[in-house]
Amino acid sequence: MKRGQREFCRFSKIEQIPGVSLLEASFVSFSYAPHAHETFAIGQTLSGLQDFVCNGQKHRGFPGTLITINPDEVHDGHSGLETGFAYRMLYIPTTNLFSLANDLWGGQKNSSPHFKGTLHQDKRTVVATSRFFNLLKAQGTEALKLETALVETLGILLKHHGECRKVIAVPFPRVKIVQDAQEYLRQNLAGDITLEELATRFGDTPFMFLKRFRKISGMPPHRFHLQCRVDKARRLLLQELPLVEIAAETGFCDQSHFNRRFREVVGVSPGAYRRAMRKEGKIIHGMGNQGGGSH
């Protein structure tokens, strides 16, 4: 990819497998803002160098490298070369992996599946995942064949790179404070909330509250609040509500602001996302040098 070439982000709903979606993108100058997903994300760098930080650790994806990101893991991303990079990413609902992990390891009380690492280059998982991605591109692939390939691919990934992690039933008090603050932000999407207001509400000083919130959430409160607003907007976009109404309900001052911040996290505009999640199939959203992605 040459500098100045038009960047793009192609987002599609996988009709044969409910809940699963695919992102294909090429970027040159764009840098992802820190964000997270409610789903598991499984991707592959296709060309160039893909540099990103996930959970505070720096990573570099070379062509062919697999990427696994767990739900709520904060990450960003940008090209490691002036010529840009290309990649593809699957978004898998948590229920899919929870069910598969239960079959692999048996029902373990208060536990959830988790990928232990972020980058993977072992031949078996790379071949299996590449085969599934290629199957997605083939025309007329039957649902049964596609679902079978996905289950087999996820099984290999979990077997070689996954584990079951215990979920702490009663969190430590400081963690509970941050969790309560997160829930407050989720419930007050349209409010102009200040750091001092949050700290006072949850019995802390602004400095200590910010420090604890960032450590536990992986991002500062304002970025977490934006993430919540975008997540709510994604759900509302599955309905027939006007975009201006969704923008107002999720706390964006106008539709232009809504479009810009939504694209920063998801990679496509709200309208393009809505079309992709309907039955029209794929959408391609060209973005010049101002693109975004849902890495």
Task: Name all domains of the chain by residue range, CATH numbers in brackets.
Answer: 7-166 (2.60.120.10), 173-278 (1.10.10.60)
Least confident of 16-20, 158-162, 288-292: 288-292
| pLDDT tens, position by position, 184-228 | 999 999 878 999 999 999 998 999 999 999 999 999 999 999 999
Q: Which residue has the higher pLDDT, 238 or 277?
A: 238
pLDDT at 173: 78
Mean pLDDT of 101-126: 87
The whole-chain average pLDDT of the chain stands at 86
Kindly report whether the global pTM for this prediction surpasses the value 0.85: no
Which of 63-67, 136-140, 277-281 is the most confident on average?
Answer: 63-67
Q: Which two tokens stand for residue 238?
A: 């599955």
Cβ-based neighbour number of residue 173 at 10 Å: 7
pLDDT over threshold 90, residue 110: no
Mean pLDDT of 235-245: 92
pLDDT at 11: 84
In 3D, which of 120, 124, 104 has the Cα closest to residue 112?
A: 104
pLDDT at 294: 53
Rounded to an integer, what distance in angstroms lies between the CA atom of residue 90 and that of residue 212?
31
DSSP, collapsed to helix, strand or coil, labels residue 121 as coil
pLDDT over threshold 60, residue 285: no
pLDDT at 264: 83
* 280: CB partners within 8 A, 6+ apart: none
- pLDDT grade, residue 12 (50/70/90)? confident
| 163-171 own/partner pairs: CB under 8 Å, 24+ apart | 163/113, 163/114, 163/116, 164/101, 164/105, 164/108, 164/111, 164/112, 164/113, 164/114, 165/111, 165/112, 165/113, 165/114, 166/110, 166/111, 167/110, 167/111, 167/112, 169/110
pLDDT over threshold 80, residue 106: no
Mean pLDDT of 245-273: 89
pLDDT at 107: 67
pLDDT at 78: 87
